[in-house]
């Protein structure tokens, strides 16, 4: 039922007949973009924690009344958790190597950050169009 296309998007849950309303599309877009806002507000290594706070709040507030926001909120939350875990592991590697590993972990963190930025913007655009987006590199922890 939820077949993924080559661009990571799937039809909205409930089939083609269940087109999300403008309000649902707006909130789903906010769910994706709130990850960027959370990362900017908390900044630095703590930015990875802020990456899932915004999607979590929006998902908790709107999941019962808006099915599209429930789906996209979970997707944004799962991606935020995935990015946070990756950044946390890099931080641990830096600490365990007494800072020497920063030669590797800082560039990797930058790549993850730029990749996450691009994917979040793509997801927000798709959500605004009413298309359910699936992040390609995301752990599905919240179901």
Neighbours of 48 (CB within 10 A): 25
Kindly report, residue by residue over 9-41, the tens digit of the pLDDT. Answer: 555 444 444 789 999 999 999 999 998 888 777
- Judged against a pLDDT cut of 50, whether residue 68 lies above it is answered with yes
User: What pLDDT, on the 0 to 100 scale, is given for residue 45?
Assistant: 53
Asked if residue 68 lies in contact with residue 24, where contact means CB atoms within 8 angstroms, the answer is yes
**3-class secondary structure, 132:** strand
Asked if residue 13 lies in contact with residue 132, where contact means CB atoms within 8 angstroms, the answer is yes
User: What pLDDT, on the 0 to 100 scale, is given for residue 61?
Assistant: 93
**Burial bucket for residue 122 (CB in 10 Å: 0-12, 13-18, 19+):** middle
pTM for this entry: 0.81
User: What pLDDT, on the 0 to 100 scale, is given for residue 41?
Assistant: 77
User: What pLDDT, on the 0 to 100 scale, is given for residue 1?
Assistant: 45
Kindly report, residue by residue over 85-132, the tens digit of the pLDDT. Answer: 998 899 899 999 998 989 999 999 889 989 999 999 999 999 999 999
- Judged against a pLDDT cut of 80, whether residue 8 lies above it is answered with no
Q: Which of the four pLDDT bands, split at 50, 70 and 90, describes residue 139?
A: confident
**3-class secondary structure, 133:** strand
Q: What is the DSSP string of 48-113?
A: HHHHHHHHHHHHHHHTTT-HHHHHHHHHHHHHHHHHHHHHHHHHHHHHHTTTTTHHHHHHHHHHHH
User: What pLDDT, on the 0 to 100 scale, is given for residue 28?
Assistant: 95
Domain ranges of the chain: 19-124
Residue identified by tokens 């769910």 is 31
Asked if residue 59 lies in contact with residue 67, where contact means CB atoms within 8 angstroms, the answer is no
């Amino acid at each position: 039922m939820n077949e993924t296309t080559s661009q990571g998007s799937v039809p909205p849950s409930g089939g083609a007949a269940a087109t999300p309303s403008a309000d649902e599309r707006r909130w789903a877009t906010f769910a994706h973009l709130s990850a960027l806002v959370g990362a900017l507000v908390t900044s630095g290594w703590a930015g990875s924690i802020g990456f899932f706070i915004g999607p979590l709040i929006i998902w908790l507030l709107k999941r019962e009344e808006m099915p599209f926001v429930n789906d996209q909120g979970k997707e944004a939350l799962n991606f935020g958790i995935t990015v946070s875990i990756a950044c946390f592991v890099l931080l641990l590697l830096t600490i365990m190597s007494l800072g020497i590993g920063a030669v590797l972990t800082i560039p990797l963190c930058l790549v993850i950050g730029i990749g996450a930025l691009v994917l979040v913007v793509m997801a927000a655009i798709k959500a605004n169009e009413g298309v359910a987006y699936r992040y390609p590199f995301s752990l599905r922890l919240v179901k």
